[in-house]
Amino acid sequence: MEINDLKSLWNELAKNQAESKIVAADEIKKLIKGKTHHAIGKINRGIMLEVGSLLLMTLFFSISIFLYEHIAHKPLLSVVIIFCLASVLYYWIKYRRINQIINSGNNLRESLRILTKTLDYFLKFYLYSSLIVTPIAFVTGFFYGYFSLDDSQTPKDLSLSIIGILLILSILLVIVIYPFMKWYIRRLYGRYLDELKTCLQELEVDSIS
């Protein structure tokens, strides 16, 4: 079979398939309302999930502020609420930016550049924010518990050794969750990102040659 034969074969196939796969307007409406499996759609859902959880946490901590009388609760919870709201704002800005760059009708090379860059950035942000937030949550939790105890159970002041132990535990926590987060991210997007990068590399050869 010659390559030119492929062309006629392809045209015949395309013609037959086009005739058998005409979609009605109602069907298109249904398709448009469907859930997207595009990577950007997946990132968007991830962001929405993060924003939803952060808003729930904000609500929970805001109610908690009024439930407890202890002097240490208010400043600690205020810090957590401010952190949650700042994260919500950051995620919202990212969400808007991501959605401005997709569907722009760019050529394949440009789209792949934007997509790999966006995914790379998002995955790095996800990894590093998890590594930062986990020890912060651990230390905040400790202080929360520490100041919640009755005076009789509480040492009079925080000794250097306690702070040292906290620091070591935080570092250990980061060491433990780092490989887990790497594995998790790789499982979610790793192979997909590699495939996209390979495609982009194939096109970038043009500018090198």
Partner 1 sequence: MYVDNEEDRRDLFQEIIIQLWKAFPKFRGESKISTWMYRVALNTAISYFRKQSRKPQRTSLERSFLQIADEEYDFDYEEKLKILKSAIDRLTKIEKAIIMLYLEEKNYEEIAETVGITQNYVRVKMNRIKNKLKKTLTKK
Q: Is 195 in the site for partner 1 (CB under 8 A)?
A: yes
Tell me how far apart the alpha carbons of residues 169 and 141 are, in angstroms, rounded to a whole number.
13
Q: Which ranges of the chain would DSSP assign to H, the alpha helix? A: 3-20, 25-33, 39-67, 73-101, 108-148, 160-185, 191-208
Residue appearing with tokens 């991830």: 46
| Member of 26, 69, 151, 206 binding partner 1 (CB under 8 A) | 206
Q: Is 47 in the site for partner 1 (CB under 8 A)?
A: no
Q: Which CB atom, from 107 or from 152, has the smaller least distance to partner 1?
A: 107
Q: Is 155 in the site for partner 1 (CB under 8 A)?
A: no
Q: Which CB atom, from 161 or from 209, has the smaller least distance to partner 1?
A: 209
Tell me how far apart the alpha carbons of residues 141 and 135 are, in angstroms, rounded to a whole number.
10
- What does each C-alpha distance from 165 to 32, 157, 162, 168 come to in angstroms? 55, 15, 5, 5
Q: With CB under 8 A as the contact rule, which of the stretches 15-23, 49-57, 85-93, 158-166 interacts with partner 1?
A: 15-23
Rounded to a whole number of angstroms, the CA Rg of the chain reads 26
* Least CB distance to partner 1 at residue 44 (A): 12
Binding mask 55-74 for partner 1 (x = CB under 8 A): --------------------
Q: Do 120 and 193 meet the contact criterion of CB atoms below 8 Å apart?
A: yes
Q: Do 65 and 77 meet the contact criterion of CB atoms below 8 Å apart?
A: yes
Q: Is 186 in the site for partner 1 (CB under 8 A)?
A: no
Q: With CB under 8 A as the contact rule, which of the stretches 38-46, 53-61, 127-135, 167-175 interacts with partner 1?
A: 38-46
Q: At what angle do helices 160-185 and 108-148 cross, to 10 degrees?
A: 150
DSSP conformation class of 102: T
| Member of 46, 57, 90, 109 binding partner 1 (CB under 8 A) | 109
| Member of 77, 112, 123, 181 binding partner 1 (CB under 8 A) | 112
| Member of 115, 122, 123, 135 binding partner 1 (CB under 8 A) | 115
DSSP conformation class of 34: S
Q: Is 48 in the site for partner 1 (CB under 8 A)?
A: no
**Binding residues for partner 1, per CB under 8 A?**
1-3, 5-7, 9-14, 16-17, 20, 28, 31-32, 34, 36-39, 41-42, 102-112, 115, 192, 195-196, 198-199, 202-203, 205-206, 209
